[in-house]
Amino acid sequence: MERKGQDPLLSSLLDMIPDPFIVISEDGTYLEVIGAAERTLYDEPALLKGQNIYDFMEKEFAQFFMDQVRFVLSNKQLHSFEYQLETNTVQGIPKNGPGGKQWFEARLYPLQEPIQGKRAVIALIINITERKSFQSQLHKLSYQDPLTKVANRRYFFEQLEDRLKKCKNTERHMSVIIMDVDHFKRINDQYGHLAGDHMLKMLAQLATEHFTSDELIARFGGDEFVILLCSALNETVEKAESFRLAVKSQRIKFDNYELTMTVSIGISELTTLDNDGTNIITRADKALYRAKQQGRNRVQWG
């Protein structure tokens, strides 16, 4: 793999490749390192040539990576995988790249002939941190209500079925709260839809502050919100009543107005007869309807 006597143009082109190509032997030695010229994506790995991965990488990561190398050598085919690496833990190279935790995709392919008497693979390493960040943002947007920043209806129903199964398997309690803003249309009509949007954002913020991170809050649609709790009915009623009073006491400033709002709340608890989330949602919705019938600004359950 020596590059002595190599054509200067070819040598220059190899050094300018933005992503690193690494020839790794079956014992973990870096037999050759080419490229990695893009400093915004990579530290400079050239000094790793001739060193063993177990000497400059943390043991757990080195073992993980070499398991992939041995898999490629055994199966004699291309193998791709993704991994996250804290680049500051890599020993023996200048820290002149992006630094911190970075995501990479590795594409490993077995070489046909031994190098220096050892079986080896060639690995193309690609920094995919930006791609991962973009995918994470897309995932978040697909499950988040854009106005209130809490979960949306789609995410709630996915979580409902999953948590319902877990609760039934572990015999844990589960309850659902459904609530909406009393006379919300009147707020929109009197102060405008921007005021209505502001009220919904404030309600979501209050709910996020009042309930724990394990209690899933979602916007169900319009001015209606739903909360999924791993608690028994009596505890859920207490939490709901406390939240109702907290909402009622708020003074919400919008433009030159100081607004107030109240909420009606319906609650239902998971039973042994509930095989999916439909029944518990239906019962909570009916309880909400009774709360509105009985004068609003109250908690009902059933």
Say how many Å lie between the first and final Cα of the chain, rounded: 75
Q: For the residues 105-112, what does the mean pLDDT come to?
A: 96
Q: Which domains does the chain have, with CATH numbers?
A: 8-136 (3.30.450.20), 144-301 (3.30.70.270)
Q: Is 255 a catalytic residue?
A: no
Q: Is 112 helix (H, G, I), strand (E, B) or coil?
A: coil
Are 266 and 284 in contact by the 8 Å Cβ rule? The answer is yes
Model pLDDT for residues 57-69, shown as the tens digit of each residue:
999 999 999 999 9
Considering the candidates 197, 223, 274, 276, report the single residue annotated as catalytic.
223
Q: What is the pLDDT of residue 108?
A: 98
Match 């010229």 to its residue by tokens: 37
Model pLDDT for residues 160-192, shown as the tens digit of each residue:
988 888 877 777 889 999 999 999 999 999 999
Strand 120-127 with 175-181, pairing: unpaired
Considering only 12-21, 197-206, 253-262, which range has the smallest mean pLDDT? 12-21
Strand 257-259 with 299-301, pairing: unpaired
| pLDDT interval class at 262 (50, 70, 90) | very high
